[in-house]
Amino acid sequence: NTTPVTVAVTGAAGQIGYSLLFRIAHGDLLGPERPVRLRLLEIPQALPALEGTVMELQDCAFPLLADVEIDSDARTVFDGAQLALLVGARPRAKGMERSDLLEANGAIFTEQGRALNDVAHDDVRVVVTGNPANTNALIAQRNAPDIPESRFSALTRLDHNRAAAMLAAETKTSVAKVKNLSVWGNHSATQYPDLDHAMVAGRPALDLVSRKWVTDTFIPTVSQRGAAVLQARGASSAASAASATLDHARDLMLGNRHGDWTSMAVVSDGSYGVPAGLVSSFPVTTSGGDWSVVQGLEISEFSRSRIDASVAELESERDAVQQLGLI
């Protein structure tokens, strides 16, 4: 199939956008045969900078890039979108309370949810990277009543990839040999990267690393990795976040690695005791734009308490946006 796919990206002039757009246009999202049409959304003040990025996209002479359009109106940008990557969000400014952040992002994601509902392609898939990603996805989904809820997902793939890389380094193997990792809950410090079912080169990970390493080193390092990158770089993770966004969207559209699963925040159907309707991360398999939660995993008492803690945080975010009238 060589019909171009319409991909909308929001926050396109931001740090993640600067890495993401070039890789999409290069074919890293839908493979080396499938042309893409890029539709880029930015706030009006950022459109001049985005024009510069568009010039650079043209100068790369990517054979798969069918065309690029930019606008500050969500309804124009999302018109006919088959895949919408919602990257743009309001960052937390100094002195901003958590409720201020939820409110500022709520305004963005209610508007974008409504616009997607009205003008996106019937078959649209929506992936939210902009933070707080799970709750932003919940807001967009609830404001798009005509789009099936399973079409919305939020990014925890960066956490999943960080966990895979760290486990591979600890066991002195390659990430290609690491399988069946799970990230549960919120994309936040409460996330739970779970090694209980993980395999390394065909052996259970927990035969190769100690429980103490998992609780004292692995879990805190994975969940604090964003802060460590920010500290070192003086800017938050961008190329790795773009790469994870591509991994997430590519697996969703084309299917995850055979014999493995991945992690994605999706609208819960009540699996594993996560209240239905919350956008929470689960181990999932994917194919053809659809996902399903991996069923039947045994959940230890330790895992249960970690999942419950992260889900409690998601519930409090949901209650806050409900009180603000955003959902």
Q: Which residue, among 213, 234, 235, 211, has the nearest Cα to 222 in the 3D structure?
A: 213
Which of 6, 82, 131, 191 touches ligand NAI (CB under 6 A)? 131
Among residues 187, 197, 248, 258, which one is catalytic?
A: 187
Strand, coil or helix: 104? helix
Q: Decide if residue 47 touches ligand NAI (CB under 6 A).
A: no
Q: Which residue has the tokens 């604090």?
A: 224
Q: Please confirm whether the linkage preceding 48 is cis (ω < 30° from 0).
A: no
**306 is known to lie in a ligand binding site:** no
Classify the C-alpha dihedral 156-159-165-171 as positive or negative.
negative
Sheet holding 178-179, edge to edge: 178-179, 199-200, 203-204
For the CA atoms of 170, 252, 241, 61, the dihedral, rounded to the nearest 10 degrees, stands at 120
Which of 82, 141, 180, 237 touches ligand NAI (CB under 6 A)? 237
Cα–Cα distance, 169 to 185 (Å, whole number): 24
Q: How far is CA 34 from the centre of its chain?
A: 22
Contact string 180-219 vs ligand NAI (x = CB under 6 A): -------x--------------------------------
Smaller CB separation from ligand NAI, 131 or 171 = 131
Shortest distance, CB of residue 235 to ligand NAI, whole angstroms? 7
Shortest distance, CB of residue 15 to ligand NAI, whole angstroms? 4
Residues 22-41 that bind ligand NAI (CB under 6 A): 41
Q: Among this protein's residues, is 187 annotated catalytic?
A: yes
Q: Decide if residue 162 touches ligand NAI (CB under 6 A).
A: no
Give residues in contact with ligand NAI (CB under 6 A): 10-11, 13-17, 41-43, 46, 87-91, 108, 129-131, 133, 155, 158, 187, 236-238, 241
